[in-house]
Structure 1
Amino acid sequence: MIVLGIESSCDETGVALVQTGGQPVPALLAHALHSQIEMHQAYGGVVPELASRDHIRRVLPLAQQVLDEAGRTVADIDVVAYTRGPGLAGALLVGAGVACAMGAALGKPVLGVHHLEGHLLSPFLSADPPEFPFVALLVSGGHTQLMQVDGVGRYTLLGETIDDAAGEAFDKSAKLLGLGYPGGPALSKLAQQGDPAAFKLPRPLLHSGDLDFSFAGLKTAVLTQTHKLADQMQARKADLAASTEAAIVDVLVKKSMMALDASGLQRIVVAGGVGANRRLRAQLNAACAKRGVRVHYPELALCTDNGAMIALAAAMRLQSGVQEAVADYAFDVRPRWPLQDIHA
């Protein structure tokens, strides 16, 4: 079975082909991605209407590109999958509309996929795929969550952010430092030149005893420091970036270890854009090695939003029998859709 996956939840258009067969995990045949970063930089953030219009321009050429790279034609597609939510409503509607139109034209079934489930399962495409069950640290955009994952579609929420997510803390802090858009990667790059112990920034909820997160207070502390530094800001910017990154990573690592203790599991998966952060990977690797716990990540190219994770999630749901694709081309999207509400 060959699944075409379309991702269009925000500012990246992704298309991919995966194939199920004798192997336990579907194989990635080809994937292509177009990022809108350059277009949105002039505005300092994502402009939803511009994002939607750009998805319209990109999705079909990208679909043709992956078919060509895989040596397949549209006739070889068995299922068309798309991101149903969460995300920007207009952007989601583009992917859903194209997927359902393609399914109707080919007479093939379609399947709407949860964006975060795509991130959650993306490490299965890595050279070191995990095995169920595991704890998952989801750090993607406006989402920071710890989940217990017992199988495809079997997710238990252990903790989540009560205000800003880790990705938002990176982006908002970067904006305060004048680093522009996209802020998170820029802050992390600058942090490599700074001293992570230069500023004593708060680690919100670090000792709360639960698995929830809060990063709004950290953002406020960064703002306070920028005001205090004033004329010294340019000279101390790298130190403040490094201290900010260290505070975010410390909380993520500590809470992840607490989640392992609470669940009794010996395996953790990290997924989402922040999962590409070097400091996070280094500290998680060290903490897990100390405990004898396995840690898994997506390939770096699959940490950001991409079509491969959508095609994979659809294929794994179909392969495990938890859901069926249907030839019903009436569609809706869910801009707000908690992962724990997904039905197995």
Structure 2
Amino acid sequence: MNVLGIETSCDETGVALISDRDGLLAHRLYSQTDLHAVYGGVVPELASRDHVRRLLPLVRAVLDEAGMRGGELDAIAYTGGPGLLGALLTGAAVARSLAWGWGVPALPVHHLEGHLLAPMLEGEFEFPFLVLLVSGGHTQLIHARALGDYELLGESIDDAAGEAFDKTAKLLGLGYPGGPALARLAADGQADVLRLPRPMLDRPGLDMSFSGLKTAVLTAVRKGGHAPADVARAFEEAVSETLVEKTRRALKQSRAPALVVAGGVAANATLRAGLERMARESGVPVHFPRAEFCTDNGAMIALAGLRRLQTGRAAEAVDDAGTPVIHARARWPLAELTG
């Protein structure tokens, strides 16, 4: 069974081909970082237009690398949401068109399900598990009982952790994307020079908040007396310790036998080290994607489509007459998925 995956939810164009027999056969990723850097953030219209330019050449490159023709595919999986609507529609339209031409189904995949399955690209493991999904758009703790059976245990009530990284980097005068730039700067900072708040750790529950940390950073910068690297390190440590402690509580509450960490911020070395240490203390294995599959990519979408095909839970989006249609939703709660 061969599945082509297409990811266009935001500012990365990802295409990959996966096989149930041979695993990941080929993948390509084009990042729009340089395109959006001049604006200090993603411009949705420019993102959509760039996906139009990049998609078909990437599809050809992936098929050529795998030595496969479109007619040999069993399905095309594409990101149906959540994300930027124009970007989603671009990928969905290309996927649906190719599927019609090649006579295969086009399957809309939930972007977050793709992320939480991404560590399986490194090796198989079984449900259930706890997921810490931490990215620029989402920070959530999810009890994944089975494919399509997801319970949201807690989330950020304001900024996602990745969003807070980017905004704090902007306060410090760093470039776009801010998260990686802040992490590089933090590596040169001194420990215990500045301590920032650990939001919502003094109250029960698994929800999180990161917007106040930006205010704390702004206050520290205005007061002066701290090197930017020290401020960056204090911020990174505050976010990481908050995420680690909330995840520890979620493991205890859910009694999940394993931990999965996914999303762009999962590549952060400080957070990874803290979560690995906490997982050892809790006696559970922890699974991460490799760094290139932490951010948005086509491989995770192809894998999610393959898993749903294998379990008989894949379905095309159709209208009332049963005709296949394009599926794209800017907002699509993970809880609405079914097994």
If the TM-score is normalised by the length of the shorter chain, which range does it land in? Answer: over 0.9
Tell me, yes or no, if the aligned pair for 1:196 and 1:244 is still in contact at 8 Å.
no
Q: TM-score, normalised by structure 1?
A: 0.95
SS of the residue 1:204 aligns to? coil
Tell me, yes or no, if the aligned pair for 1:104 and 1:329 is still in contact at 8 Å.
no
**Which one of 241, 257, 271 corresponds to residue 262 of structure 2?**
271
Tell me the alpha carbon deviations over residues 203-245 of structure 1, each in whole angstroms, 9 at most, x when there is no partner. Answer: 111122101110011111111111111xx56xx0000000000
1:333 aligns with 2:324: no
- AA partner of residue 217 (structure 2): V
1:293 aligns with 2:284: yes
Q: Which residue of 2 aligns with 1:101?
A: 97
Tell me the alpha carbon deviations over residues 174-225 of structure 1, each in whole angstroms, 9 at most, x when there is no partner. Answer: 0100102100000011100002422121111112210111001111111111
Paired with 2:249 and 2:140, the residues of 1 have a C-alpha distance of: 13
Paired with 1:208 and 1:279, the residues of 2 have a C-alpha distance of: 24
**Which one of 286, 300, 315 corresponds to residue 309 of structure 1?**
300
Tell me the alpha carbon deviations over residues 256-301 of structure 1, each in whole angstroms, 9 at most, x when there is no partner. Answer: 1100100112210000000000001111111111222110001111
Paired with 1:118 and 1:291, the residues of 2 have a C-alpha distance of: 26
- CA deviation after TM superposition for structure 1 residue 113, in Å: 0.6
Paired with 1:142 and 1:304, the residues of 2 have a C-alpha distance of: 11
Paired with 2:31 and 2:153, the residues of 1 have a C-alpha distance of: 32
Tell me, yes or no, if the aligned pair for 1:101 and 1:329 is still in contact at 8 Å.
no
Q: Which residue of 2 aligns with 1:77?
A: 73
- AA partner of residue 104 (structure 2): K
Query: Superposition pairs for residues 157-168 of structure 1, below 5 Å?
Result: 157-168=152-163
Q: Which residue of 2 aligns with 1:225?
A: 220
Query: Superposition pairs for residues 111-126 of structure 1, below 5 Å?
Result: 111-126=107-122
Paired with 2:175 and 2:152, the residues of 1 have a C-alpha distance of: 33
Q: TM-score, normalised by structure 2?
A: 0.96
Paired with 1:131 and 1:177, the residues of 2 have a C-alpha distance of: 42
- AA partner of residue 210 (structure 2): F
Paired with 1:204 and 1:29, the residues of 2 have a C-alpha distance of: 43
Tell me, yes or no, if the aligned pair for 1:130 and 1:269 is still in contact at 8 Å.
no
Paired with 1:218 and 1:151, the residues of 2 have a C-alpha distance of: 35
1:61 aligns with 2:52: no
Paired with 2:125 and 2:202, the residues of 1 have a C-alpha distance of: 29
Q: Which residue of 2 aligns with 1:8?
A: 8
SS of the residue 2:150 aligns to? strand
Number of aligned positions between the proteins = 335
Aligned alpha-carbon RMSD (Å): 1.3
1:143 aligns with 2:138: yes
Q: Which residue of 1 aligns with 2:199?
A: 204
Paired with 1:152 and 1:221, the residues of 2 have a C-alpha distance of: 40
Q: Which residue of 2 aligns with 1:48?
A: 44
1:244 aligns with 2:239: no
Tell me the alpha carbon deviations over residues 300-339 of structure 1, each in whole angstroms, 9 at most, x when there is no partner. Answer: 1101100000010011111112233468442131111111
**Which one of 215, 224, 248 corresponds to residue 210 of structure 2?**
215
Paired with 2:275 and 2:7, the residues of 1 have a C-alpha distance of: 28
Paired with 1:188 and 1:116, the residues of 2 have a C-alpha distance of: 24
SS of the residue 1:207 aligns to? coil
Tell me, yes or no, if the aligned pair for 2:133 and 2:140 is still in contact at 8 Å.
yes
Tell me, yes or no, if the aligned pair for 2:135 and 2:163 is still in contact at 8 Å.
no
Paired with 2:175 and 2:125, the residues of 1 have a C-alpha distance of: 36
Paired with 2:329 and 2:315, the residues of 1 have a C-alpha distance of: 19
SS of the residue 2:203 aligns to? coil
Query: Superposition pairs for residues 29-48 of structure 1, below 5 Å?
Result: 29-48=25-44
Paired with 2:43 and 2:109, the residues of 1 have a C-alpha distance of: 24
Tell me the alpha carbon deviations over residues 35-65 of structure 1, each in whole angstroms, 9 at most, x when there is no partner. Answer: 0001111111111111111000000000011
Tell me the alpha carbon deviations over residues 154-188 of structure 1, each in whole angstroms, 9 at most, x when there is no partner. Answer: 11111111111111111110010010210000001
User: Structure 1: where are the runs of 5+ without partners?
Assistant: none
Paired with 1:102 and 1:198, the residues of 2 have a C-alpha distance of: 56
- AA partner of residue 143 (structure 1): H
- CA deviation after TM superposition for structure 1 residue 87, in Å: 0.6
Q: Which residue of 2 aligns with 1:20?
A: 20
